[in-house]
Chains A and B, each alone.
Chain A
Amino acid sequence: MAETVNIQVDHITRVEGHGNIVLRARDGHIEKLEWQVPEAPRFFEAMVKGRSWQDIQTVVSRICGICSVSHSLAALKAVEAAFGMEIPPQMQRLRLLCHYGEQLESHSLHLGYLVAPDLLGQKSVLPLIESHPDLVRAVMKAHSTGNRWMEVIGGRMTHPVRLKVGGFTKLPTEEELVSLRTLLEECLPALEVMADALHDLADRLPDFRRETEYVALVRPGEYTFYEGHIGSTDTEETVPPAQFEKVANEYVSPQSTAKWARWHRESYMVGALARFNLNGEYLLPRAAATASKLGLEKGNCNPYWNNIAQMVECVQVVEDGIRLIDALLEEGLDEQSRTVPVTPRDGEGAAAVEAPRGILFHRYRFDSRGFCIGANMCIPTNQNHANIQKDFEKLVPEILDRDQEEIRLMLEMLVRAYDPCISCSTHYLDVTFV
């Protein structure tokens, strides 16, 4: 057992934005253990204040290149709630279809580029091209399918332009839907390759458990990503999205520039594992079979297994995507219901959707002309920060007798398992000429 453990990981790699891990221990006593977020706040809410309802989706879709559909949908639903609008069911299904494309794209990239290197003992995905070419090609197939999926429905592969308050600016053609359906069918073998690889590597995920509160959207009979109330594994009570502040209870922690959240306990977890733990019995057959094959069962409280749940969700969204396309083609696309009229009014609305990395809340207030006078966005990563800290506090005493490098890797892997998205913003190049 090491007498002194001193781990300081500044700007942990393979996560978005800046997060630090600090662990100092002496003679088996932990002196300091923190998950720190030093990232400067970006105040996106301030950017929409004073803007027309027509601009909100365009602005918030630019917050994140990976979650642009999720931010768009949360904003649209919140604006429509504020104006008391009802969106036709077919347009809701099309929005869900677009949402699924984002889940596939985000999850496949996270699993392939960020998680697989950990499980295969590499620092990045690049060495895997030689050692596991079939896996890398499968990941790229899933990723490109997700991109094309969003392009067909949302008009672009990121930052969608067809999703608008009231419905869509343009519908996909039936030919495009047929073509998309073919792409999804062709993606299923790639997902099998990924699931097989995860199956073979799952025993390398640390064996760690901590009783945790999981929070996600719930809707009877459905593995929901888009509609429903807010549910928790700690209670039968559900909360409507309009009251999301009762769930998130955001507060400030001295070790973080990002807000933390808590509901029934000191912390809770959102994301794929939370969705599975709340809705796993509603998976479609192929996704359920994938969960079974990977050994994922409801009640799993190992945060590293969030990655396994993401794999299951990749299959779920493709499977349900095919089902949705079949239904749309059978009933025919209804151009008449493409958009409903918008009548701005003085009001307030809030909404929730499941972004790839967990439940996402938006709230807006408008004046009588439809100009935004208040906004609040509560993103999934912020809701997970406190839970990462609590996982650290349970995990580290269990592994403190291990090699310092092994401890560091296990802590980094734990953070990456949450698929955190800390800054959602810049990516400029910073180069020197050689």
Chain B
Amino acid sequence: MTPADKTGEDTGKPGRPVVVGVGNLLMGDEGVGVRLAQLLQGYESLPADVYELGTGVSGLMSILPNRRLALILDCAYMGEPPGSLVWFTPKQVRDRKEQLRWSLHHGSILESLELIQRLGCAPRRLLIGGIQPLNVKPGLGLSPLLERKLEEYARLVVEKLASEEGSR
């Protein structure tokens, strides 16, 4: 299966669901989306493609177009207790880092999504799984709090995939 088949780019049909983890492993809890995607890549029966993009967020524009469902996993400051996982759509939030518009290396997830949407090839349904960090600072490894919760997050992603796919 080619990437185009997966995204439905050539067939015109909505492509397979996709789970994408983003973040930086060198910045503590900033890497939680990456670690979670790496964990999920070991789930052989997962009914979705799983990508771990690291800080290459602009890669979303290659992966997301025309997908049936996309779940993006990322560290997110949301004003929630550390360790919380909250699902939201891009329309439900406003990015407070507007000064970083189109910084390709930071990569604006929300603007990447807006671009895909305006091009008419957005995923039919897209959710961001934001995880409130405890520590974002230079260094390898998650905080013990988030490290302990990785399996729980993975279970929540599997459940979210099932509920979203079941409701379509």
Contact = CB atoms under 8 A, between A and B. Distances in A.
B162 interface: no
Given A11-B99, A125-B115, A429-B76, A63 B26 contact: yes
B26 A13 contact: no
A13 to B, nearest CB: 5
Contact of B26 (A42, A124, A125, A144): A42
B58 A433 contact: no
Contacts of A434: 92-94
A434 B92 CA distance: 6
Interface in B58-116: 58-59, 61-62, 74-79, 88, 92-97, 99-111, 114-115
A427 interface: yes
B119 A158 contact: no
Nearest to A421: B105
A431 B96 contact: yes
Interface residues of A, number: 57
A365 interface: no
Given A65-B54, A113-B104, A425-B26, A431 B93 contact: yes
Q: Is the interface on chain B under 10, 10 to 19, 20 to 34, or 35 or more residues?
A: 35 or more
Most A CB within 10 A of own CB, among B58, B77, B103, B128: B103
Interface string B21-59: 011111100100000000000000000000011111111
A421 B106 CA distance: 9
Contacts of B104: 16, 66, 106, 109-110, 113-114
A66 B59 CA distance: 10
A286 interface: no
Contacts of A251: none
Interface string A46-72: 010000000000010011111010000
B118 interface: yes
Contact of B59 (A47, A113, A157, A430): A157
A429 B77 contact: yes
Interface in A9-65: 10-11, 13-17, 42-44, 47, 59, 62-65
B1 to A, nearest CB: 12
Contacts of A158: 53-56, 59
B61 to A, nearest CB: 6
B93 to A, nearest CB: 4
Contacts of A428: 23, 30, 74-77, 133, 136
Contacts of A68: 54-56
Contacts of B62: 143-144, 147-148, 157
Nearest to B3: A148
A368 B25 CA distance: 28
A229 interface: no
Contacts of B101: 13-14, 123-124
Contacts of A123: 101
Most B CB within 10 A of own CB, among A13, A14, A129, A429: A429
Nearest to B91: A434
Interface in A100-117: 105-106, 109-110, 113-114, 117
A47 B23 CA distance: 17
Contacts of A106: 104
Contact of A126 (B26, B107, B118): B118
Contacts of A424: 105
Given A65-B55, A431-B94, A431-B95, A144 B105 contact: no
Contacts of A110: 104
Contacts of B57: 65, 427
A140 B55 CA distance: 18
15 contacts: A13-B103, A47-B139, A65-B53, A66-B55, A106-B104, A109-B58, A110-B104, A113-B102, A148-B62, A157-B56, A159-B52, A159-B54, A431-B94, A431-B95, A432-B79
